[in-house]
Chains A and B, each alone.
Chain A
């Protein structure tokens, strides 16, 4: 009998719960996430407020739903941006090689040498903060890792017989790169996309925690964490809610990535 792929099952369950929470939070939250109520300041979890209230008396469940949405949006944007630029760069350098490869990959190395948070910090201080700048900053920082993976896969594939055959069949270089080779590296790309997504969630959370990420009135999980740390002992549920949300978001995708790797 085939062994059950627990990674896949658990990953799917956790990810779908989180996605459901995010999608529902996009259209509907139990309370207005901005509405303050001084009577409910740091209220403990109750039936009316299942995850309690924060220091302004705002409902934490509503804020987690909305914040997870922001975090998710930023992470997806970051990964897609990094991935698209990374694929183009990796494809060109891996396929053509030569002097262009040397120049682009050394630039890549230089970019890679910076910690991504530091790089994003420089970027933010130059262009200002906010959701879209965070995506841009982190996206650029994520390019090198994708470029490397794509480049090594293209290097492997370009000398295979089916690429030679495509060449004889008159396919242009561009067509060979994106129609003949790219579909064959998708499995590798998919698992690194998921790992990249996790790193992006963490990076967004840490940037917002440092106060240079998403700005109020938007809320994100990292921002909630940084607000909650002051009340760590008076209201532990406040810090637990966004923390657990981050953990679940990452855990779900990490399990999915692992299951894809195993399948190969």
Chain B
């Protein structure tokens, strides 16, 4: 299996401004020496409590942070991201069609007709009717919005998709639908994913391998079944006990 992403010894520091004039600014070490890789067609779960540096890793991988230490190697073009809250990740002033065609317009030289065609086929692929192309995000429900966000991320046919808690803002029934959709798209498009979550059940359903983070460090890594049955780190044990999972 070939890798689509290889991250080695990633360190991210945030500068925190001093609260008082007489104190020095402090540096917050958000991600500490994190290394992992994502194979082709693999879904890697990134698990941990809030504030443990999961999203920071995602941002670093996508080049959204100005300065990071360590190496991030991409073996595919245009990695994309699905954000947590579909109420913020879709521009309220643009129609669904415009949102879907935006990456094609900017990064490919397809004709208007070809763009339209691709948008229609993609929106059907994520399970929405093509009439929604002319709708605005505020006319859609949360689940529909997240489908649009996934469609927009897949327009360029990326090999790597980073999903930052894509279902945690949705109802449980909608969660299941979106998870099924993502699994289906993974198989159809041979996608690799980094699936960020704090929900052990969802991760168990979705992922092949998981990485568990605590306070910016990786504390455990392995195949989902192995980690869930045989957690080695005490933090993982408490996590799994707290979730009360029957594996």
Interface residues of A (CB under 8 A from B): 160-162, 164-172, 175, 180, 183-184
Contact code string B67-91 (vs A, CB < 8 Å = 1, else 0) = 0000000000011110111001111
> B152 contacts A169, CB within 8 Å?
yes
Interface residues of B (CB under 8 A from A): 62, 64, 78-81, 83-85, 88-94, 102-103, 106-107, 149, 152-153, 155
Q: How far is the CA of A175 from the CA of B94 in the complex (A)?
A: 13
> B93 contacts A183, CB within 8 Å?
yes
Q: Which residue on A lies nearest to B137, using beta carbons?
A: A162
> B91 contacts A166, CB within 8 Å?
yes
> A180 contacts B94, CB within 8 Å?
yes
Q: Which residue of B79, B83, B93, B107 contacts A165 across the interface (Cβ within 8 Å)?
A: B83
Q: Which residue on B lies nearest to A160, using beta carbons?
A: B88
Q: Which residue on A lies nearest to B62, using beta carbons?
A: A168
Q: How far is the CA of A170 from the CA of B152 in the complex (A)?
A: 12
Q: How far is the CA of A183 from the CA of B91 in the complex (A)?
A: 10
Q: How far is the CA of A77 from the CA of B14 in the complex (A)?
A: 46
A167, A169, A170, A175, most chain B CB atoms within 10 A: A169
B85, B88, B93, B152, most chain A CB atoms within 10 A: B93
Interface residue SS majority, chain A? helix
Contact flag A164-B81 (CB < 8 Å), given A180-B94, A184-B91, A184-B92: yes
Interface CB pairs A-B, < 8 A, 18? A161-B84, A162-B91, A162-B92, A164-B64, A165-B83, A165-B149, A165-B152, A168-B62, A168-B78, A168-B103, A169-B102, A169-B155, A170-B78, A170-B102, A170-B107, A172-B106, A180-B91, A183-B94
Q: How far is the CA of A169 from the CA of B84 in the complex (A)?
A: 17
> B94 contacts A161, CB within 8 Å?
no
Chain B residues closer than 8 Å to A164, beta-carbon distance:
64, 81, 83, 89
State the 4 A-B residue pairs at the shortest beta-carbon distance, nearest first: A170-B106, A183-B93, A169-B103, A161-B89
Chain A residues closer than 8 Å to B152, beta-carbon distance:
165, 169
Chain B residues closer than 8 Å to A160, beta-carbon distance:
88
> A165 contacts B92, CB within 8 Å?
no
Q: Which residue on A lies nearest to B106, using beta carbons?
A: A170
Could you list 11 further interchain pairs (A-B, Cβ under 8 angstroms) beyond the known A164-B81, A164-B89, A170-B107? A161-B89, A162-B90, A162-B91, A165-B81, A165-B89, A167-B64, A168-B80, A168-B81, A169-B103, A180-B93, A183-B93
Min CB gap B114→A, angstroms: 17
Q: Which residue on A lies nearest to B149, using beta carbons?
A: A165
Q: Which residue of B62, B83, B84, B103 contacts A170 across the interface (Cβ within 8 Å)?
A: B103
Q: How far is the CA of A97 from the CA of B103 in the complex (A)?
A: 26
Chain B residues closer than 8 Å to A183, beta-carbon distance:
93-94
Q: How far is the CA of A210 from the CA of B84 in the complex (A)?
A: 59
